[in-house]
Structure 1
Amino acid sequence: MASEVLLNELRSIEEELEKSNKKVTDENAFEYLAMQFFCYKIKNIKPKLYDIESSITNGPNDGGIDFVYYDDEESKVVLGQCKYTENMKLNDIISELNKMSNTVENFKKAYTGTYNKKLKTNLQNALDRLPDESAGNVEYCIFTTSDINQNDVTNKLHAENNLYSKDMVSVYGVSEINSQIKELIEKAKTVNEYKIEIDYPHNVLQYETDNVSGIMVNMSSESLVRMYDKFKDEGLFDLNIRKYIKNKTVDEGIKETLDKERDNFWFYNNGLTIACSEYVLDGNKVKLYDFSIVNGGQTTN
């Protein structure tokens, strides 16, 4: 049975989509939820809403595949089937897995004429991205609001003679989904989103690796003051182990610079570091999502 925490997340997704004039059912929102918490593993869907929407293939002739996600880190194609029902049985799970597996086999043989356009594009692109050493690295995922006995699923997969192995299958019942949502939400209290101003558009120093990216900017002190006033008790410093340590000498030095040498503050201060799940550059503004100040509590205070 869907818990209150799961239903709350569905409502949040539906409200976010309504802002773009998209009205969806709980069944549709459940697809977004599965990708949010199990593919992107984020507690705030907003920065990945477009990516998730682009990945959803559910509809007529979808080959039993509701979404296609390419996991860059694992060089893996993740295929999802979402069943918003409390009545899913073991044989139903196997049937859905077989349907997805057959679809993939058809794509490998270029038998794609019967499938919808979005599935053709998304699945073919994902399969083509697999490097030679990871060919065939596909994970079949079932998400359902039914209670699932994981041992029964494992035993059934052992007994079946299918094209996919049990290692290629992940089945998430309502308890697993609830646990994942709670873990991500409760992991650390952060600020959901805020938009800061910088000195002038696109004045940023950027750096990125395969897994993370970051920018250095000249942040408006007015933005910092507003951020502090609004979120100081709502997760602004919760990822900062030290938070604010009172130090009379340092505090008075910072205050004196602000009072008497404001133009030199940029040179004297080491700045602050903000960790976030996502950031978006928008002219002279930077949108931050799920963030906290991890270094610079002294300066901010």
Structure 2
Amino acid sequence: MQQIIEGIQSQELEASWRTALDEHDDLKKFGVNAIGLFALALRFDLEDLEGVGVSSIVDGHSDKKNDLIFIDEEIGTAVIIQAYVSKSKKSIAPANKASDLNTAIAWLLTMPAEKLPQGIKSHAIRIRDGINSGIINKLYVWYVHNCTESKNVADELEAVKQTLSSALAKYHKNTIVNQFVSEIGNSTLTEWYNETQSPIAVNEQIKFHCTDGFEVKTEDWTAFITTISARDLYAAYKNYSVKLFSANIRDYLGARSSQSNINNGIRQTMSETPKNFWVFNNGLTALTHRIEFDKEQKTIKAKGIAIVNGAQTTGAIGSMDEIPSENAMVPIRFVSVNNGDRDLIRDIVRYNNSQNQVTAADFRSTDAIQKRLRQQVSMIKDAEYEGGRRGGFGSAIKRKPKLMPSFTVGQALAAFHGQPSIAYNKKSDIWNNDALYSEFFNEKTTGPHLVFVFSLLKSIESNKSNLIEKSKSDVDLTNLEKQRLEFFRLPASIFVYVYAIASALETIISRPISDYFTLSFGNQTAPKNAIKNWTPIISATAPFTRLLAKSISEGLSKTSIEEGIQNFTQQVEVASESQGVAFNRFLKQLRNPSSIKTA
């Protein structure tokens, strides 16, 4: 009977992730690649999946077996994805699709830049530059599909691992890149989805030998601080592996023989001076459902466990070649949250992970400006803004058609108000740096203005997406469309385009603007309608984006950006006569702020 129940639960979980993916109407336009984007959301807690798709999906026919290339320099991560979706109930995915990743890696990491197809060239250069500079230190290669994982695919991926290692060996000898080659099929997607619903993936009762400890208790949570045997932690890792880290944003990154590598140092300490490990290590924090301490037996029983902080310590100990010394002890605090309060659990996870970049916005979520902006946006039809706050576990993968994600809004504000480089390279700094934050989120910033800049960004993304779809069809692109596609392939192109539109606005509406923060479509225009308001402007100015390409190719320097913007604005002025009807209609859609002087 228990096996039947577990089988039903497994089927329900699988159906749940499929249902969650099906509810993402915004991903349907990406076709097969939607499952790759969904996997990214599960693994990296991404919210703006549509925006990620527009920037990550490789366009054109010469993708060299790269379907998606996701790069985030702020978290030092790049993900290369080959995606496959079976329309029938096929039991396993084709292994030849997995082997295609060998081709993808060879082109991205080893082919001379001048021989790279335009569709992957900018991605390849970003990854290579990131690896050489040390910014990218984690490289994932995924075969994502909706079938059952298989030995045939696993065997092919072993060859992919060799290809990846060989390719990275050609980089600077001091370059350290942690490599992860994985098949992401039904079971993995089910497991990841399950983890988003609860932070504790290991639900069995685990016994640890410990020393005396003490309890700290409040009405919301109970904690027990003690010291456990390193041998028990070693055994737990051998049994559960990375499932122990379901509440941790970072899996174990591996250990390499480098004096600067923390994990290698942990293993060395455990091997050479085990009795001193306790005083050399900061210890662990673990979430659990329930704690039972037996003072006489000197044991603690944890019903379920998820290591919130200390993944590197656990992984380093668990991956040792020999069982740790019986003298080796590890400091730990077990925490159980009363009534499973999801908000409190979320905060425990975040505040215990000092390296979690997405906490930047959380520290701003309670300030007066964000409270005001949330209230103002809530008054706008079909608009939602969390202002730095995040939902509970699994919130990132839920379809929220009305949501304007906080980080995307911050990027749109930065780009519109003259900082496209910040929008592209430092999206967390917008929230984390006091000077930058106050530059874009201040007393002049309003909810309707957030909709205004956000909808401009989304309108440009839509224009790019439509062009990519056309390039994949049998319809030939015009020369201007080819030039526009070349522009969109460049990193930061969308943010530079946002700034270009902002710079040309006075020309577009034929009115001087004294304060750009007052610009909006009013508090009655929903984001989806605001996007439509921008569409004619984007269509009219898109041919001039070729003038912005130089500013990006020269590294987003302020001088080159301003030169490109000036040329762009001049072309908009030339076109204003032929686009008079569209430009006048756009002017009428603005809500006549005092900063726009009437003619």
TM-score, normalising length: structure 1: 0.54
Q: 1:7 to 1:167 in 2, by over 3 A?
A: same
Q: In the alignment, what sits opposite 1:194?
A: none
**Alpha-carbon contact 2:68-2:81 (below 8 Å) kept:** yes
Distance 2:80 2:126 in 1: 13
Tell me, yes or no, if structure 1 residue 174 matches structure 2 residue 186. Answer: yes
Aligned residue runs from structure 1 range 48-63, under 5 A: 48-57=49-58, 59-63=60-64
Match of 2:32?
Answer: 27
Between Structure 1 and Structure 2, whose CA radius of gyration is higher? 2
Map of 2:103 onto structure 1: 99
Deviation by residue 1:124-153 (Cα, 9 ceiling, x = unmatched): 22322224457896332111111113x665
* Partner Cα distance (1:28, 1:48) in 2: 11
Which blocks of at least 5 consecutive residues in structure 1 are unaligned?
18-22, 191-207, 228-235, 240-276, 288-301
Q: Which residue does 2:42 correspond to in 1?
A: 37
8 A Cα contact 2:109 2:128, kept in partner: no
Q: Which amino acid aligns with 2:115?
A: T
Q: Distance in 2 between matches of 1:84 and 1:171?
A: 13
Distance in 1, matches of 2:84 and 2:54, equals: 17
Instruction: Compare 157-166 and 74-83 and name the one that shifted more.
Output: 157-166
Q: Which amino acid aligns with 1:163?
A: T
Which residue of structure 1 lines up, in the alignment, with residue 149 of structure 2? 148
**Matched positions, count:** 210
Please say if residues 68 and 123 of structure 1, whose CA atoms lie closer than 8 Å, have aligned partners that are also in contact: no
**Deviation for aligned residue 1:64:** 0.9
Q: Give distance in 2, aligned partners of 1:25 and 1:237.
A: 26
| RMSD, matched Cα | 4.3
Match of 2:115, SS state, is coil
Report which of the two has the higher share of strand: 1
Structure 1 stretches of 4+ with a deviation exceeding 6 A read: 236-239
**Paired position in structure 2 for 1:213:** 360
Stretches of structure 2 that go unaligned for 5 or more consecutive residues are 1-10, 166-177, 200-340, 344-353, 380-388, 393-404, 414-444, 452-599
Measured in 2, the distance between the counterparts of 1:137 and 1:222 equals 35
Q: Is the 8 A contact 2:93 2:153 kept in 1?
A: no
State the Cα distance separating 1:181 from its structure 2 match.
1.9
Please list the CA deviations of residues 6-38 of structure 1 after superposition, one character each: whole Å capped at 9, or x if unmatched: 332222222x35xxxxx6265242232122223
Q: In 2, are the aligned partners of 1:32 and 1:53 still within 8 Å (CA)?
A: no
CA 102–181 in structure 1, closer or farther in 2 if over 3 Å, else same: same
TM-score by length of 2: 0.30
CA distance in 2, matches of 1:79, 1:13: 22
Read off the aligned partner of 1:112 and give its amino acid letter: K
Write out aligned runs for 1:117-266 (5 A): 117-133=118-134, 138-149=139-150, 157=157, 162-165=162-165, 167-187=179-199, 211=357, 212-214=359-361, 215=364, 217-218=367-368, 219-220=371-372, 223=375
Letter of the 2:38 partner, please give it: L
Greater helix fraction, Structure 1 or Structure 2: 2
Cα offset, 1:83, TM superposition:
0.8
Q: Which residue of 2 aligns with 1:271?
A: none
For residue 62 of structure 1, give the secondary structure of its aligned residue in structure 2. coil
